[in-house]
A and B are shown apart, each in its own frame.
Chain A
Amino acid sequence: MTRRFDIESALVPVLAVVAAMLVGMALIGMIGYDPFYAYTALIEGAVGSPSAIGSTLLRAAPITLTGLSVMIAFRAGLFNIGGNGQAIIGILFAGMVAVHAGGIPGPFGWLIAMTLAALAGGLWAALAGFLKTVRGANEVVVTIMLNYIAVRIGEYMLGLGGPLQEKGSSIPASAEFASNAKLPVIWRPDPFTEVHVGVIVAVLGAAFAWFLIGRTSLGYQIRAVGLQPDAAEYGGMSVTKIVIIAMFIAGAYAGLGGAVSSLGDLDRMQKSDFGVLQIGFSGIAVALLGRNTAWGCLFAALLMGGLASGAVGIQNAGALPAGVGTKLIDVIQGVIVLFVGMDVVFRRLSGRVVGIFNRDSNHEVKT
C-alpha cells in the first residue's frame, strides 16, 4: 500500500479538533466560566506532569484498540458500531479467567485472560460479519443489536444470583480479580497512577494492524474487498470469508480493548459497568480522526485520552462545576466526529490553507 503524504487530508483532523475546541470554549463561556483557565487546566491534566501523562496513556490504551477495531472493519467495507458489545464480551471472558486465575502460574494469568477476551470478542463480531455476507443483514444495525444483547448478558451474568456474581455477596459484582490476572504495572509516576502493560499492548496492536493491513496478503484481500468487492471476487478472493475474518480481527481488537480497560484499571467486574461503557463509541471517533490508518488511530487515541485526562485536570482545578468537565469532553469528541464526517467542508478549507503556502505552484495541471 502506498500512501503518499497528502497534506490536505492530514489537515482535516487537525482543523476538526481546532473547531471542536472552539465549540468547547463557547460552551464554557456560555455558562459564565473562563475558557482560558479551563483549557489551561485541561492541558495541565493531560500532559502537565508525569502523572498526567500516565493518566493520558492509560485512557488512550483501550480506545486505541477499539479504534483499530473500527479501522480494520472499515477497511473491509464494514461499519463496526459493535465495539462496545465486543468489548463487553471480552471483559466477561477476561474477567471469568481473572476471577479464577489464582491457580494459574505467573504472568499466564493475564495473558490467558487477554487471549480469551480477544477470541471471544472476535467471535461475537464475526457473527455480524456472517449475518452481513451470508444473510444480507446490515452490519450497522446488527452490531447495535449485538451491543445491547451483550449489555444484557453482562448484566445477567453479574446480577444478583448471576453466574459470575460473587457467591454469598449482596453486591451485583464479581469476586476480586486474582493479582496475577491484573495487568502488570510498568511505570508508576505517582502512588495513585499505575501505568500498566495495556499501553504496550496498544502500541503493539497498532504496529500489528499497520503490518497486517499494509504488508500481508490478508490485509491486501481485506482492502480489496472493502474497496471493490466485485473486483476482489474477480481476483479469486472469497468476499464472504474475508469479511468474516476481518470482523473477527476487529472484534478481537475490541475484546482486547475491553480486557485492557477491565484488568488494567479495575479490581472486579460490576453489573453497572456495562450499560455505561463508552470505549466502543470512542473507537469510532478514534478511527475517524485517525483517518483509518493504524498509526493515525494511535495518535487520535492519545489525543482523546489526553482530553479525558484533561477533564480530570479541569475537575481538580475547579475550573468548571463538578462533573461538567467530562461532559464537555463528550461534546468535544462528538463535534470532532461530526466535523471529520463533514470532510468536504474541511477539505475545502484545508485546501485553502495549503493554497496559502504554495501559491506559486498553484498552476493548473493538464490531464
Chain B
Amino acid sequence: MESAPAPILQLSGISKRFGDFYANRNVNFDLRAGEVHCLVGENGAGKSTMMNMLYGLLKPTEGTISMDGRPVEIDGPRHAIDLGIGMVHQHFMLIPVFTVAENIVLADEPTDGVKLDIKAAEQRVSELSAKYGLSVDPTAKVQDITVGQQQRAEILKALYRKARILILDEPTAVLTPQEIEDLLAVVRQLRDEGMSIIMISHKLKEVLSIADRISVLRRGEMVGTVDTAGQTEESLARMMVGRDVLLKVDKGESIPERPVLQVENLWVKDDRELDAVRGATFEVHAGEIVALAGIDGNGQEELVDAIAGLRHIEQGRIVLDGENVTDLTPHEVSDSGLAHIPQDRLRRGMIVDFDLRENAILHDWDKPDMVRLGIIDRDASAERAQMLCDMYDVRSGAGISSRAGSLSGGNQQKLVIAREIQRDPKLLIAAQPTRGVDIGAIEFIHTRLVEERDAGTAVLLVSLEMQEVLSLADRIVVIFEGEIVAEFAGGTVDEQRLGLAMVGSADKAGAGT
C-alpha cells in the first residue's frame, strides 16, 4: 500500500466575502502533483472566485493556502507566477495588437543590453511550442489568429513562466469540437510531463474523460471531491445541483396556424465582418414555440438581431405576418408586431439607471398613449409600469420609482418579459429568457411563454440550455456555424441526438423531418 502523494497545493477553510455575499465559504481543496483535477459547478458557484484567489487577483477573507505544505499569502499575480502558478483565463489575457511572442514574454522579456531581444523571444516560443505540440506562429499578431491558437498562446505563456501548476478556467467554452480534442490531448501530455492541472468546466462529459479527480462547488461551498472512476454525468449533476432537477413544463398540444415569421436564405455578418448566419431558412407559426438550439456563438445572436432590425442583412428576406420587414428599422419592426426579450437584459433589455416607470415605456416614446405633444405622460407611464409589476409580480424596493439596476436578476427579467408580452405581439422572440434567473422565476417565465403560445402568438425561443429547449419547444431548429443543420418535432428527440446535432454531426437520417 502506498499512501496518496502529498498535495502540491492545498486550500483550507477558504472563504471570500463581498459585502454580505459569500462567493466562497469554508472551501477545502487539494491538488496532487501530476494530476488533472477538475472543478465543476453551475454558473455562479464560485469557481472563478476560487481560482482568482489562487492567482493572487483576489485575497481570501479567511483560510489558508499552502504550497508544498507551507502556507503562502499570494499577494498578486506576480507572486503567483513566482510560486509556479500559471493561469489561462476564460477571457484571454492577450493583447490583440501584440505578436504571440510579445504576449508570451511580456514582463519576463529576454534582453540584449537594454534592448528587447525579440528574436530570442520568438526562438524560445518556437522551442516551447515544438516541445509541447502547441503549434502557433510566434510572429503572428494575436488579433489575426484563431481562438484555438490564442488559447495555445495562453498556455505557452504559463509554460514560458515555468509554471508547475496550471489553472484552466473553462478552456473549452470557446472552442470547436476539434479544438477541444486537441486541447484535451495537450492537457494529457502536460500531465504526463509532471504538470499539475486544475481545470474548471461545466461540461461533464469532458470532465469525465480528462479528470483524475473531480471537485464540486455549489453556491460557494465545496460539496466534495471524488475520484473520476465510478462517476457518471448523472452522479456529478446531482452533486452540482443538489437534487434531481428536471424542468417539466405543463403544456398541451400546440395548434400551429399561419406562418408568422418566415426567414428565407438569410445571411448576416458579425462584428468582425465574418459570415455569422449563412443562408438560414425557417418558419415560426402562430401558436407554436420554435426553439433555436445551438452552442453559444453559432450565429443565434446575429440571427435574432437581424430579425429585430438591429443588424444589417446581407442577403435574404424576413417576412413578419405577411409583411416584408427585411430592411426596416428596429422601431418599424417592433411596430409591425415583434416583441423581443433580448439575450442581455443589462445591455439591451433595460436601462439600468432608469426607474421602472421609464423602463416600462422603452418602446413607447412616440406612442400617443404615453406621449402627448412630445411630453411624456407621467401618470399613464406610471400606470403602465404598475400594471406590469402587478401582473408579473415584479418585486422592488421602492415600487415603480426603483432604479431598474437595483432589482434582482429574476425581477429584472420579469419586468422585461412583462413589457414585451403586454405589447400583444404577433411574434415573440425570447433569447435566453431564463439566463441568470433563479429556479422560481424560471418556472414562472416558462409558464408565461406557453400561455403566450396558447394565445396564438408565434414564439421563437433561443436557448443554450438543452433542458429548456426539450421541455418547451414544439419544434426545434438547430443552428451550427450559422446554418440550420437539423429540425426536429418536439418530443421526438432526446438529449443525445440533439447534442450531436448541435455540434454539427447530426445523423442525417433523423434530421430534417
Contact = CB atoms under 8 A, between A and B. Distances in A.
A and B touch in the complex (CB under 8 A): yes
Given A220-B376, A236-B331, A1 B351 contact: no
A366 B20 contact: yes
B331 A220 contact: no
Interface string B323-350: 0000001111011000010100001111
Contacts, number: 77
B354 interface: yes
Contacts of A366: 20
B145 interface: no
A224 B351 contact: yes
Given A1-B358, A231-B362, A234-B342, A217 B374 contact: yes
B401 interface: yes
A235 B371 contact: no
A364 interface: yes
B241 to A, nearest CB: 24
Given A2-B355, A236-B363, A231 B349 contact: yes
B348 A217 contact: no
Contact of B348 (A234, A238, A364, A367): A234
A217 B342 contact: no
Contacts of B331: 236-238
Contacts of B365: 217, 220-221, 235-237
Contacts of A230: 347-348
B441 interface: no
Interface residues of A, number: 25
Nearest to A214: B376
A233 interface: yes
A231 B330 CA distance: 11
Contacts of B340: 234
Contact of B350 (A2, A215, A231, A364): A231
A218 B330 contact: no
Interface string A117-133: 00000000000000000
B329 A236 contact: yes
B268 to A, nearest CB: 16
Contacts of B361: 220
B342 to A, nearest CB: 6
A234 B374 contact: no
A187 to B, nearest CB: 33
Contacts of A1: 355, 358
Contacts of B310: 233-234
Nearest to B356: A2
Interface in B351-384: 351-355, 357-358, 361-363, 365-366, 371, 374-376, 378
A355 B308 CA distance: 48
Contacts of B329: 236, 238
B93 to A, nearest CB: 25
A207 interface: no
A280 to B, nearest CB: 27
B334 A215 contact: no
A215 B352 CA distance: 19
A224 B349 CA distance: 12
Interface residues of B, number: 34
A234 B363 CA distance: 8
A236 B353 contact: no
Contacts of B362: 224, 231, 234-235
Interface string A257-269: 0000000000000
Given A2-B401, A234-B340, A227 B376 contact: no
Contacts of B366: 217
Contacts of B358: 1, 220
B330 A236 contact: yes
A169 interface: no
A217 to B, nearest CB: 5
A21 B382 CA distance: 44
Contacts of A224: 351, 354, 362
A235 B20 contact: no
A228 B374 contact: no
Contacts of A238: 329, 331
A224 B363 CA distance: 11
Contact of A216 (B19, B332, B375): B375
A3 B349 CA distance: 22
Most B C-beta atoms less than 10 A away, residue of A217, A237, A364: A217
A143 B196 CA distance: 55
A218 B20 contact: no
Contacts of B352: 227-228
A4 B378 CA distance: 16
Given A231-B347, A231-B362, A237-B365, A367 B353 contact: no
Interface in A138-164: none
B375 A215 contact: yes
A216 B347 contact: no
B371 A217 contact: yes
A297 B365 CA distance: 27
A367 B409 CA distance: 12
B42 to A, nearest CB: 21
A71 to B, nearest CB: 16
B351 A218 contact: no
A208 to B, nearest CB: 13
A343 to B, nearest CB: 16
A367 B376 contact: no
Contacts of B374: 216-218
B334 A236 contact: yes
30 contacts: A2-B357, A4-B401, A215-B376, A216-B374, A216-B375, A216-B376, A217-B365, A217-B376, A218-B374, A220-B361, A220-B365, A224-B351, A224-B354, A227-B352, A228-B348, A228-B351, A228-B352, A231-B349, A231-B350, A231-B351, A233-B310, A233-B330, A234-B310, A234-B330, A234-B348, A234-B349, A235-B330, A236-B329, A236-B332, A237-B365
Interface of B: 19-20, 308, 310, 329-332, 334-335, 340, 342, 347-355, 357-358, 361-363, 365-366, 371, 374-376, 378, 401
Given A217-B371, A234-B349, 11 more contacts: A216-B374, A217-B366, A217-B375, A230-B347, A230-B348, A231-B348, A234-B342, A234-B362, A235-B365, A236-B332, A237-B365
